Amino acid sequence: MEREAANKVSTDKLTRMKELAARLLPASRAYYQENREIMSNYEFDLLYDELAELERETGIVLAGSPTQKVGYEILSELPKEAHEAPMLSLDKTKEVPALQEWLGDQKALLSWKLDGLTIVLTYENGELVKAVTRGNGEVGEVITNNARVFVNVPLKIAYRGTLILRGEAVIRYEDFNRINEEIEDVDAKYKNPRNLCSGSVRQLNNKITAERNVRFLAFALVRADGVDFKNSRREQFEWLRTQGFEVVDYRMVTRETLPAAVADFAEAIVSYDLPSDGLVLLLEDIAYGDSLGRTAKFPRNSIAFKWADETRETTLREIEWSASRTGLINPVAIFDPVELEGTTVSRASVHNISIMQALELGEGDQITVYKANMIIPQIAENLTRSGQIRIPDHCPVCGGRTEIRQMNDVRSLYCINPDCQAKKVKSFALLASRDALNIDGLSEMTLEKLIAAGLIHTYADLFRLDRHAEAIISMEGFGQKSFDNLTAAAKTASHTTLPRVIYGLGIAGIGLANARMLCRSFHFDLEQMRHADEEELTAVDGIGEVLAQAWISYFSSDENNRLVDELLGELTIENGQEDSEEAVFEGQTFVITGSLHHFTNRRQLQELIIAKGGKAAGTVTSKTTYLINNDTASSSSKNKKARELGIPVISEEDFLKLLETGR
Residue pLDDT, tens place only, 340-385: 766 788 888 888 898 898 899 999 999 998 877 666 788 888 999 9
Question: Is 113 a residue of the active site?
Answer: yes
The pLDDT assigned to 111 comes to: 95
pLDDT in tens, 17-57: 878 888 887 777 666 555 566 777 778 888 888 888 887 88
Confidence of residue 110 (pLDDT cuts 50, 70, 90): very high
**pLDDT reported for residue 168:** 95
Give the mean pLDDT of 200-212: 81
The tens digit of pLDDT for each residue in 271-315 reads 788 888 889 999 999 999 989 888 767 788 999 998 766 788 999
CA 300 to chain centre: 36
pLDDT tens column, 382-432: 999 998 888 999 998 888 899 998 876 788 899 988 778 777 777 888 899
In terms of C-beta density within 10 A (0-12 exposed, 13-18 middle, 19 or more buried), how is residue 457 classed?
Answer: middle
* pLDDT at res. 72: 39
pLDDT of residue 552: 92
The sign of the torsion formed by the CA atoms of 259, 265, 269, 271 equals: positive
Q: What is the mean pLDDT of residues 552-570?
A: 91
Q: Please, which pLDDT band fits residue 188 given cuts at 50, 70 and 90?
A: low
To the nearest 10 degrees (0 to 180), the angle between helices 444-452 and 173-181 is: 80
Strand 250-253 to 108-114 pairing: antiparallel
- Give me the half-sphere count of Cα atoms (radius 13 Å) on the Cβ side of residue 235: 10
Q: Which residue has the higher pLDDT, 586 or 107?
A: 107
Higher pLDDT, 393 or 603: 393
pLDDT of residue 580: 41
Q: Do 276 and 115 form a contact (C-beta atoms < 8 A)? A: yes
Beta bridge partners of 328: 414
Nearest to 446 by CA among 412, 414, 472: 472
Separation between Cα atoms, residue 171 and residue 193, nearest integer Å: 6
Instruction: Provide the pLDDT for residue 74.
Output: 41
User: Worst-scoring range by mean pLDDT, 56-60, 463-467, 587-591?
Assistant: 56-60
**Residue in 623, 620, 590, 626 with CA at minimum distance from that of residue 607:** 590
Q: Catalytic pick from 113, 189, 371, 449? A: 113
245: left (phi over 0), alpha (psi -120 to 50) or beta: beta
Please tell me the predicted confidence (pLDDT) of residue 659.
78
What is the C-alpha to C-alpha distance for residues 71 and 140, in angstroms, rounded to an integer?
10
Looking at this protein, which amino acid is placed at residue 69? K
The fraction of the chain above a pLDDT of 70, given in percent, is 89
Among the residue ranges 32-36, 411-415, 548-552, 599-603, the one predicted with the least confidence is 32-36
Name which residue leads in pLDDT, 74 or 64: 64
- What are the E-state strand segments in 269-365? 276-283, 302-305, 312-323, 328-340, 343-349
User: Which pTM does this prediction carry?
Assistant: 0.50
Determine the average pLDDT of the residues in 598-604.
72
Provide CB contacts within 8 A for 481, sequence distance 6+: none
Per-residue 3-state assignment (H helix, E strand, C coil) for 3-59? HHHHHHHHHHHHHHHHHHHHHHHHHHHHHHHCCCCCCCHHHHHHHHHHHHHHHHHHC
The whole-angstrom separation of Cα 524 and Cα 382 is: 60
127 — pLDDT class (breaks 50, 70, 90): confident
pLDDT tens figures, 76-102: 467 788 777 777 778 888 889 999 999
How far are the Cα atoms of 222, 253, 489 from residue 237, in angstroms, in the given order? Answer: 11, 15, 45
* Lowest mean pLDDT, pick from 186-195, 200-209, 230-239: 186-195
Confidence grade of residue 121 (pLDDT, cut at 50, 70, 90) = very high
pLDDT for res 374: 61
With vertex at residue 37, the alpha carbon angle to CA 64 and CA 216, rounded to the nearest 5 degrees, is 90
Q: What is the pLDDT of residue 576?
A: 57
Strands 312-323 and 376-382: unpaired
What average pLDDT does the chain have? 83
Angle between helices 41-58 and 2-33 (to 10 degrees): 140
CB 649, CB 642: distance < 8 Å: yes
Task: Tell me: pLDDT of 247 over 90.
Answer: yes
